[in-house]
Amino acid sequence: MHELSIATAIIEQADARARADGTDAVSTVTVRVGELAGIVPDALTFAFEVARDGTALAGASLVVEQIPAQAYCGPCAEEFAVGMPPFFWCPRCDRPSTELRSGRELEITGIQ
Ligand SMILES: [Zn+2]
């Protein structure tokens, strides 16, 4: 379960950021997870709850914001949802796209 190593990394980063900000109690950590990041939100939340024990974030909860995967179509100059599993084919003009604009995110966006 690679979510556990990801959760551990999130906790380490959030702990370091909270210390840098002079915060000693973290109640919520918010992360953005792209649809194509290969992470199951429920598994990540569960892993976070396991990994937080014994750390400065023992009382913190994790909020996962899912970012839909979007690709860009040049001829249409518009983005479209690629879905899951991803299908890089513009629904408007019926042409393939290779330009993924979002969906691979994995970042901490908020610590409170
Ligand atoms: Zn198009």
User: How much of the chain exceeds pLDDT 70, in percent?
Assistant: 99
Dihedral of CA atoms 7, 37, 33, 73 in degrees, nearest 10, equals: 170
pLDDT, position 23:
80
pLDDT digits (tens, 9 = 90+) for 6-29: 999 999 999 999 999 888 789 999
CA of 71 to the centre of ligand 1 (A): 10
93 is in an annotated binding site: yes
76 is in an annotated binding site: yes
For range 55-65, the mean pLDDT: 94
Q: How far is CA 33 from the centre of its chain?
A: 2
pLDDT digits (tens, 9 = 90+) for 23-56: 878 999 999 999 999 999 999 999 999 999 989 8
pLDDT, position 93:
97
Q: Which domains does the chain have, with CATH numbers?
A: 3-68+102-111 (3.30.2320.50)
CA of 95 to the centre of ligand 1 (A): 6
3-state secondary structure 22-82: CCCCCCEEEEEEECCCCCCHHHHHHHHHHHCCCCCCCCCEEEEEEECCEEEECCCCEEEEC
90 is in an annotated binding site: yes
24 is in an annotated binding site: no
- Summary mean pLDDT of the chain: 94
Predicted TM-score (pTM) of this structure? 0.86
